[in-house]
Amino acid sequence: MKLKILHETLYHYDMPVRNLIQSLRLTPSACEGQKTENWQIDVTGGQRGPAFRDGAGDWIEGWTVRGPLEEIAVRCWGVVETTDLAGVLRGHREIIHPLAYLRSTAATATDQALRDLAASASGDAALDLAHRLSGVVADAIAYRPGVTDARTTAAEALALGEGVCQDHAHALIAVARLHDLPARYVSGYLHSTIDGTPHDAAHAWAEIHIQGLGWVGFDAANRCCPDDRYVRLGSGLDSSDAAPIRGMRAGPGAEMLAVTVKVEEL
């Protein structure tokens, strides 16, 4: 499938900011399942700085913006050709050992409810277990936008019984690690949900490391493994660690954020 993607993040400040430094993880992963035909990144008034591939295999670009500015837009767009590999991440060069992803974070910290949820799934093989864990998370957390936010933890989402893809990913990562399966958070794009509904928003899912197979993606929010509808950007221990945009600004005042994502099949 050939996908055309437009992703715009618009920052508005009620008082002008003097300087802004950003680290962007907004370039599609280099792996067998996807081929980037063209890709561009632009920041309003920004100057591109150093860029590098980190230990997880993600491409990171540094940008600086000198103000004063009241509005800054971060835009990326391009075309990616995807192939369905049944969720298996192949040809992705990285040097971080999978066991590093057994480490818990605040977003994926477990409580008794998560431990009970993890214990409710079993499997004779790691791959079977990972599928079952994704299923119990999907059953326990109904997809409902607006009830959680960026700071909601896996335990809080499970207690609510509702959440979005970020919450499903955090919960799946948490229960997988309880079974000693390395797991990580993945950010990216989704063309459409399993029923064909267009998905004009950024997306997230989990990857679980299976011995002998490698990293395998699981999207509990859609009860499937990533296929050719998905475009992978980057990964981390949780949503904060894998954030497509991270940065710091100099200046007082409040920040308002608006995100637009369009994914179209060519």
Same domain, 15 and 102: no
Q: Which two tokens stand for residue 13?
A: 């400040």
Confidence of residue 192 (pLDDT cuts 50, 70, 90): confident
Same domain, 127 and 74: no
Q: In 3D, which of 245, 247, 251 has the Cα closest to residue 19?
A: 251
Same domain, 142 and 209: yes
DSSP for 5-38, written as a single string: EEEEEEEEEEEEEEEEEEEE--S---BTTEEEEE
pLDDT digits (tens, 9 = 90+) for 126-149: 999 999 999 999 999 999 999 999
Res 81: pLDDT = 98
User: Mean pLDDT over residues 93-120, rounded?
Assistant: 98
pLDDT digits (tens, 9 = 90+) for 160-175: 999 999 999 999 999 9
Cis amide linkage into residue 68, ω under 30° from 0: yes
- Environment class of 154 (CB within 10 Å of its CB; exposed 0-12, middle 13-18, buried 19+): buried
Res 200: pLDDT = 72
Same domain, 114 and 193: yes
Res 196: pLDDT = 67
Res 88: pLDDT = 98
- The Cα 2–Cα 22 span in angstroms is 29
234: number of Cβ within 10 Å: 25
Contacts 24+ apart (CB under 8 A), 36-40: 36/78, 36/79, 36/80, 37/2, 37/78, 37/79, 37/80, 37/81, 38/78, 38/79, 39/76, 39/77, 39/78, 39/79, 39/80, 40/76, 40/77, 40/78
Question: What mean pLDDT value characterizes the chain?
Answer: 95
Judged by average pLDDT, the poorest of 79-93, 134-148, 248-262 is: 248-262
199 has pLDDT over 90: no
Same domain, 218 and 125: yes
Do 237 and 96 contact (CB within 8 A), yes or no?
Answer: no
Same domain, 175 and 248: no
Range of the domain at 109: 85-236
**AA letter at 206:** A
At which residue do the structure tokens 């900011």 appear?
Answer: 17
Same domain, 89 and 198: yes
Work out the end-to-end distance of the chain between its first and last CA atoms, rounded to an integer number of angstroms.
8
CATH of the domain at 183: 3.10.620.30
Confidence of residue 194 (pLDDT cuts 50, 70, 90): low
pLDDT digits (tens, 9 = 90+) for 177-190: 999 999 999 999 99
Q: What angle do CA 73, 76, 80 make, to 5 degrees?
A: 165
Same domain, 113 and 226: yes
Res 61: pLDDT = 97
Domains contained in the chain, number: 2
28 has pLDDT over 80: yes
Res 219: pLDDT = 98
CATH of the domain at 53: 2.60.40.2250
38: number of Cβ within 10 Å: 9
Same domain, 204 and 256: no
Same domain, 105 and 205: yes
pLDDT digits (tens, 9 = 90+) for 116-128: 999 999 988 999 9
For residue 219, give Cα distances in angstroms to 37, 65, 251, 258, 259. Answer: 25, 35, 39, 25, 22
At which residue do the structure tokens 């998560």 appear?
Answer: 114
Same domain, 116 and 193: yes
Instruction: Give the 3-state secondary structure of residue 194.
Output: coil
pLDDT digits (tens, 9 = 90+) for 209-253: 999 999 999 999 999 999 999 999 999 999 999 999 999 888 887
Q: In 3D, which of 82, 30, 24, 80 has the Cα closest to residue 57?
A: 30
Of 244 and 68, the one with more pLDDT: 244
Same domain, 140 and 213: yes
